Amino acid sequence: MNDPLNKYILHLADNALILAQRNGEWCGHGPILEQDIAITNISLDLLGQARNFYQYAASLQGNDATEDSLAYLRIENEYRNGLLVEQPNIDWAQTILRQYFFSAYQYLLYEKLQASDDAQLAAIAAKALKEVSYHLRWSREWVIRLGDGTAESNRRMMQAVDALWRYTGELFIPADYENQVGVDVSLIKDAWTEQVNVVMAEAGIQLPEKTFMQTGGKQGIHTEHLGYILAELQYVQRAYPNSSW
């Protein structure tokens, strides 16, 4: 349960699951039908990634662990997702920006992970990379559209930057388990920053020069938002243990 590979796989899975859950809150509430479908399609892709990682982690753990027990029966401080993905939707701008920051990161990460010595991690990454390229293209276009849109959409995008920028630093600071088995995320920081700068310039959005970066999610120290997500996600399994479809 505590070896670095297991922690790393759960970290990858948790990132995907929590963002899937967040995006899924838009189901039936998207600004227009096509975009409602788009954001929930992205949720579905992320959920698929999460399932693949959880299944793999469960197979390594043994002891009756399953993809469900890993998703439904761990508490906040056992979750190792980054703080970015657990931040609330607030509005479309914040949802889009969260997705863009994350997809740009995930694309660079999976590009490297597909060359991993671990065959299963490499296979999941290679498979998911194709899907992430869609997420990245879609969210990038929306960031530009909103930033370079009306005064109101620009204001909302600026607010989103203020709310989310502080959670991006953590993505590129390797946790102890990443240092031992994972992709060295510090090496993808420059490529990420460069891409984000180009898109933000096109969107007419000024990024903060220097700011405090909040960390801790990858070690299990979360913002207050994660508990609420897990409460909703895990309620049925907690109330009716071992229930299944």
Partner 1 sequence: MVSNPTITESQIWDILASVCDPEIPVLSIVDMGIVRKVYLEENNPVIIITPTYTGCPAMDMITMQIRMALLEHGFTQITIRSELAPAWTTDWMTDEGKRKLQEYGIAPPNPSTTPLSEQIIQCPQCRSNNTQLISEFGSTACKALYQCQDCKEPFDYFKCH
Opening angle at CA 91, ends 26 and 78, nearest 5:
65
State the nearest-atom distance from the C-beta of 101 to partner 1, in Å.
Answer: 19
Which of 37, 201, 207, 221 contacts partner 1 by CB under 8 A? Answer: 37
- Contact between 18 and partner 1 per CB under 8 A: no
Residues 105 to 134 in contact with partner 1, rule: CB under 8 A: 119-120, 122-124, 126-128, 130-131, 134
Positive or negative: CA dihedral 146, 168, 135, 107: positive
Q: Where are the alpha helices (DSSP H) in 29-167?
A: 33-61, 67-72, 83-86, 92-113, 119-147, 151-164
Opening angle at CA 127, ends 13 and 68, nearest 5:
30
State the nearest-atom distance from the C-beta of 35 to partner 1, in Å.
Answer: 8
Residue with smaller CB distance to partner 1, 104 or 175:
104
d(CA 245, CA 241): 12
Cβ-contact 134, 141 below 8 angstroms:
no
State the nearest-atom distance from the C-beta of 163 to partner 1, in Å.
Answer: 25
Helix/strand/coil for 209: coil
* Token pair 């390594």 in the structure block, residue: 60
Opening angle at CA 168, ends 91 and 155, nearest 5:
35
Residues touching partner 1, count (CB under 8 A): 27
Q: Which stretch binds partner 1 (CB under 8 A): 33-41, 59-67, 161-169, 210-218?
A: 33-41
Residue with smaller CB distance to partner 1, 122 or 199:
122
Residue with smaller CB distance to partner 1, 49 or 81:
49
Residue with smaller CB distance to partner 1, 41 or 214:
41
- Contact between 44 and partner 1 per CB under 8 A: yes
- Contact between 27 and partner 1 per CB under 8 A: no
* Token pair 């293209």 in the structure block, residue: 137
Chain residues binding partner 1 by CB under 8 A are: 34-35, 37-38, 41-42, 44-49, 51-52, 119-120, 122-124, 126-128, 130-131, 134, 137-138
